[in-house]
Every structure is written in C-alpha cells, then in structure tokens.
Amino acid sequence: MTAEQRTPAEVLDSVFGYSSFRGQQEEIIEHLCTGGDAVVLMPTGGGKSLCYQIPALVRPGTGVVISPLIALMEDQVVALEALGVKAAYLNSSLSPEEAHEVQARFRSGALDLLYLAPERLVQERTLRLLEQTEVSLFAIDEAHCVSQWGHDFRTDYLGLSVLHERFPTVPRVALTATAAPAAHDELTRRLAMGEARHFVSSFDRPNIQYRIAEKTSPRRQLVELIKDEHPGEAGIVYCLSRKSTEQFADYLCEQGIDAMAYHAGLPQEERSARQARFLREDGVVMVATIAFGMGIDKPDVRFVAHVDLPKSVEGYYQETGRAGRDGLPATAWMVYGLGDVVAQRRLISQSEGSPQHRQNLSRHLDSMLALCESLTCRRQQILQYFGEESGPCGNCDTCLHPPQAWDATVAVQMLLSAIIRLERERGQRFGTGQIIDVLRGKNNPRSDESDHKSLSVWGIGADLSEAQWRSVFRQTTARGWTVPVGEYGVFMVDASADPVLRGEVRVELAKPKRQTKASSASSGSVRKYHLTEDQEEIFNRLRAWRKTTAADSGVPAYVVFPDAALMHIAIAQPQSLAALRKVSGVGDKKLEAYGTEVVEIVTGADVG
C-alpha cells in the first residue's frame, strides 16, 4: 500500500503510535482531507500539529507549513524525521546549496512536508516554486500573528492572503492557540477564511494546576517550589526585567539548580545557544523575560513560574500554557505582592500613547489583579474571561485550599481614613510603612517629628498585624481604592473608594495565606504520575537511557521519546517488540530505531 492510500487513523497509529484522536482532531483532519478550509482554535498542547501533518501524509502532494520562527523549524523537522516523515524547511539559515537541494526534493515530489517562513513564502520565486508541483495543503501556524490586535503581530503574515488568490483549490488551515474573539475575527478576515469551517475547542488545560501566592521572599519561595515539587525538571521562570532574570538565575545556580537567564539584551548567538540547551536537555530552568517562549514546542516543561505580575490575563494564560503540553501534570505558579501592583500602575501612568491606550492597559491589569485576589476557582475565572462557562475545577489553589474570607469593611475604612487624615491634617503623603505604623500606633522618628500621635486615626488598627495590614493594602490597591502616585511610592485615596468610606458596600477580603503546596505527598513528577515503585524505577532507567541516546544522535531528548511515552512504557512493561508497538507514542519508526533497547531495559535483560 502506498502512503497516499492510508486512512488518517492508520497514519495516526503507524507514524505517531497513537490509538485514538483527541478532541476535534478527527473532524478537522477529515474536513481537510476532503479539500475544505479550516480555522482551528485550540489551546497549546491540544494537538494542533497532527491536524495538518496527517492530512499532508494522507493527501497526494506536499504539505506547506508557514511558521513564524526560523529557529524552531529545524526542531520540528528533526522530530518529524525521527518519525520517518520526509520533512524539510526553507529559510535564510540554509546555504544556497542546501536551499537548492531542498527545492529539488520538493520539485520531485519527495517531501511530505515543507516548512517556510512567511517572508519567504510571499516572494514571487517561492510562489512559482510552489506552482511547479502538487501542494496537498497550506497550514498557517500561529495564525494570530496576522492580527494587529494581539501582541505577536508580524507584517509578513499580511501577505498570506495571496495563497487564496494563487492556489484557490488547495485547502488551507489556519491554527492558533489564541482564544480572544477579536484575534479570531481579524485572522478570518485578513486570511480570507470567511468560507472556512471554524473549529473552536475549549481552552481549558486541565492538567495544569494554577496557583497564586503572596510574595514574601520570592527567591526562597521559588527554590522551595523547584526543590519540593519539580527537582530535575524543566521549567520557565518569568521576570519583568532583564536584570532580575540574571539575578534569579544566579541565585538558582547557587542553590544547585541548573538555571540560565534569557532576555532580549543578550547577543543573538547566546540566546540561540541557551534556547537550544533548554530544548535539548532534560531539566533545565530558563529564567526569562517574555521575550522567551513563543513557539517553544518543548512538550515536557513541568512548571511555569511568575515572580512578577503579568500585565494581562491573556499574557498570563499564554505564558503558563507553555507548561505541560504533553498532557501530564504541570504547575503554573505565581507569587505577587503590593510592590507588583505599584510597579505595574506606575508603568502604565508613564507609558507613551493616548489616554485611551493607558485606559486599555489599566483594564487589562485590573482583570489580572481580580484573578490574583480571587476567592473562587482560578480556572473558572480564567475561562470566563475567555467567554467559557465552567464549574470549579478542583485543581487550583483556591479549589484545593479555599481561602478564608473575612469582613474587612472596617479595616479598609480605617486604612482609607488614615491616608486621608495624613493628607488633610498634615499635608503629607506616605508609603505603606508609615501608614501602617500610624494605624498600629507604632512610634518612629517620623511620627514624632510630625506629631502623628495626635491624629484621630493613631493606633486604631492595633488589632491587626503588620502582615495583615500589608495584605489589606495590597487588596485595596488591587481594587484601585488606594493609588500610588509619583516616584516615591506614596499613596492617595481614589474617588472610587467613596462608597466604601460611606459604608455603602461591604468589603470581603481573603485572609493572608502562605505559599500553598500542591498536595503534601507529592515530590517530583513521578509521584504525581501515580507510578508504583517498580514502574518508577523503570521510568528512571528509561530516562537515563534517553539522555545518552539523545546526546549521541544530537537531538532533543523528547524527540527520542517524550515523557508521556516513557511513562506509558513503564506502566505497560512490554516484554516483546509487538507489545511495545501497542504502547501509546510508539510508532513504526521508533520501534525500529529503539525497540530492542527499550524492551531490554524493561525486561532488565543484560544489554552487553
């Protein structure tokens, strides 16, 4: 039987080693195979690649994939080759001879898939090349890049409507993990996909555990997270500034954690080298600004940590979405405090652009803060933000350890009054420290100097601890009732707080909470996968074998086998090649390349 005659289900099994389709994959593939156009909105890790790779293998001709990141095409091609798929890419990293060879292979019809950068595709000579042979479909990956609404806009994507004009009979599929309806509308219009069928999946990522804790000492909290829950595992730590990526990375290294910094200030070669190391090796922690991450296809990132507050829920969800693409348990963890709120508000007030623009930024930040201060399920809130209704998830910190609410109406009134009195009666504005000292009646040189003791608010809040007051302060600032002004972190009261001062609204706040751990017993992912001791031992041996095998052949470890496949092998413990072939993630080519060694490891046979 030739490749052209296989059904999608056969390709899924023989090439990818999977026994069933996920979510809407089957429908999408069917639709493309029969020549239809499709727009696919699916979360990261949902399995978008198969949606175009399988039709490209089933339909006659070569599938052309438009992908925005040159650096990642190579990894995708390497992974496909390891599955026995004939794939190649054309981009500016190739020498003229290499490019020539790829073009020749394409012309002769030898390729299943060809990856192209958008700027290359729209060139007349590329379009002519594509006209010289049969194209089975066009896949436009990261299709939200055509949308000016989003933050990944690429001018070159605007030229992609040419595909429809030049190749009206070739099916097109546009794919993105961006959930925002505005981006969806815009990409549909700009790519002329009005006639296409739209497949919109749920954006839930049930395997990711969302947790947001109060920032006390972020470096220590981060080390605790990594050592207790993700030792030796790959993760991404997001920081706001270049400097703090360096500082956090240094600190992690001092603590014996394999970490590197990544930001746009590093020379290009250094960035590429670090990214390659992160992708290729097991268990590297990347401490990065948001310059890092788009198109990172690494399936086994086990945690994403935010040590600074993201600017929007969209950004937060996209960044955390880089964890757990393989569907195995992963953690999205964040610490945040009053300082973050102040810093973000200041950035907005100083930002360039129209008042309208600043208002937009504020709105984004407010939604992010509402998520941080939420007393109910985080996932429910996130999904609601993207227009999806759901129940409490049972796998976020507020579901696992419901925060205790307390009636903070009086405390908030005291805080607001203290700020107002200091301003009205002394003409002074202060930062949190002095305001809290006044509330608690704690003497200091500044109170003496300005005779704060004679204020009516002096010591009225002595019942609450300093930590409790900080928590109240953070929450009133998150709600916009107290506003940082100027450069020195001093506060004033906003008009929106009037109803609170007049006692017209009751204020419920969360009690301050320490860092919450996942579940007490979990240490490292193996526990979380619920492996028995015996399975765990095999899993670890397979990981060690994978490490040397990957290094020997110069490919990322997950290209040999992703964690999910190793875990399935450790559970099934196949005693023969035939049994191994039945395990999820083991296709024909991998069986041929590694089958004997893997069975030997599982059965404990003497390899020598």
Q: What x-and-dash track marks residues 417-446 binding Zn ion by CB under 5 A? A: ------------------------------
CB 320 within 8 A of CB 253: no
Size of the site for ligand ADP (CB under 6 A): 17
**Choice between 257 and 399, CB closer to Zn ion:** 399
Question: Which positions from 293 through 312 interact with ligand ADP, judged by CB under 6 A?
Answer: 297, 299
Binding residue for ligand ADP, selected from 144, 325, 474, 581, defined by CB under 6 A = 325
Give, rounded to a whole angstrom, the gap between the first and last alpha carbons of the chain.
Answer: 38
CB 7 within 8 A of CB 144: no
The listed partner (ligand ADP, Zn ion, none) that binds 512, CB under 5 to 8 Å by sort, is none
Question: Which positions from 37 through 66 interact with ligand ADP, judged by CB under 6 A?
Answer: 42, 44-50
Contact between 399 and Zn ion per CB under 5 A = yes
**Choice between 48 and 543, CB closer to ligand ADP:** 48
**Choice between 68 and 484, CB closer to ligand ADP:** 68
The listed partner (Zn ion, ligand ADP, none) that binds 539, CB under 5 to 8 Å by sort, is none
Q: Give 4's DSSP letter.
A: G
Q: What Å distances lie between residue 425 and 289, 451, 454, 483, CA to CA?
A: 44, 11, 10, 19
Q: How far is CA 342 from the centre of its chain?
A: 25
Contact between 21 and ligand ADP per CB under 6 A = yes
Q: How far is the CB of 151 from ligand ADP (least distance, A)?
A: 18
Q: How far is the CB of 531 from Zn ion (least distance, A)?
A: 25
Q: Give 454's DSSP letter.
A: G
Closest by CA position to 401, among listed 519, 522, 307: 519
Q: Give 26's DSSP letter.
A: H
**Choice between 135 and 212, CB closer to Zn ion:** 212
Binding residue for Zn ion, selected from 393, 408, 567, 601, defined by CB under 5 A = 393
The Cα 463–Cα 420 span in angstroms is 21
DSSP assignments along 145-193, one per residue: GG-SSSS---GGGGGGGHHHHH-TTS-EEEEE----HHHHHHHHHHTT-
The Cα 552–Cα 280 span in angstroms is 12
Contact between 542 and Zn ion per CB under 5 A = no
Q: How far is the CB of 210 from Zn ion (least distance, A)?
A: 7
The listed partner (Zn ion, ligand ADP, none) that binds 556, CB under 5 to 8 Å by sort, is none
Q: Give 132's DSSP letter.
A: T
Contact between 396 and Zn ion per CB under 5 A = yes
**Choice between 41 and 285, CB closer to ligand ADP:** 41
**Choice between 24 and 434, CB closer to ligand ADP:** 24
Using CB under 5 A, which of the segments 136-144, 331-339, 386-394, 460-468 binds Zn ion?
386-394
Q: How far is the CB of 68 from ligand ADP (least distance, A)?
A: 14
The listed partner (ligand ADP, Zn ion, none) that binds 527, CB under 5 to 8 Å by sort, is none
CB 550 within 8 A of CB 559: yes
Question: Which positions from 520 through 539 interact with ligand ADP, judged by CB under 6 A?
Answer: none
Using CB under 5 A, which of the segments 164-172, 369-377, 502-510, 543-551 binds Zn ion?
369-377
Q: How far is the CB of 361 from Zn ion (least distance, A)?
A: 27
Binding residue for ligand ADP, selected from 229, 326, 373, 397, defined by CB under 6 A = 326
Classify the phi-psi angles of 474: left when phi > 0, otherwise alpha if psi is within -120 to 50, otherwise beta: alpha
Q: How far is the CB of 565 from ligand ADP (least distance, A)?
A: 9
Q: Give 396's DSSP letter.
A: B
**φ and ψ at 491, to 5 degrees?**
-120, 150
Q: How far is the CB of 64 from ligand ADP (least distance, A)?
A: 17
DSSP assignments along 527-563, one per residue: HHTT--HHHHHHHHHHHHHHHHHHHHHTS-HHHH--H
- The size of the chain, in residues, is 608
CA angle 116-118-123, nearest 5°?
95
**Choice between 265 and 315, CB closer to ligand ADP:** 315
394: Cα within 13 Å, side-chain hemisphere: 3
Q: Supply 165's token pair.
A: 């004009």
The listed partner (Zn ion, ligand ADP, none) that binds 49, CB under 5 to 8 Å by sort, is ligand ADP
The listed partner (ligand ADP, Zn ion, none) that binds 399, CB under 5 to 8 Å by sort, is Zn ion
Residue 339 CB-density burial (10 A; 0-12 exposed, 13-18 middle, 19+ buried): middle
CB 202 within 8 A of CB 66: no
Q: Supply 481's token pair.
A: 């009732």
Give the CA diameter of the chain. 93
Contact between 18 and ligand ADP per CB under 6 A = yes
Q: How far is the CB of 144 from ligand ADP (least distance, A)?
A: 13
Contact between 248 and ligand ADP per CB under 6 A = no
Please report, as ranges, the residues that interact with Zn ion according to CB under 5 A: 377, 379, 393, 396, 399
Please report, as ranges, the residues that interact with ligand ADP according to CB under 6 A: 18, 21-22, 25, 42, 44-50, 297, 299, 325-326, 562
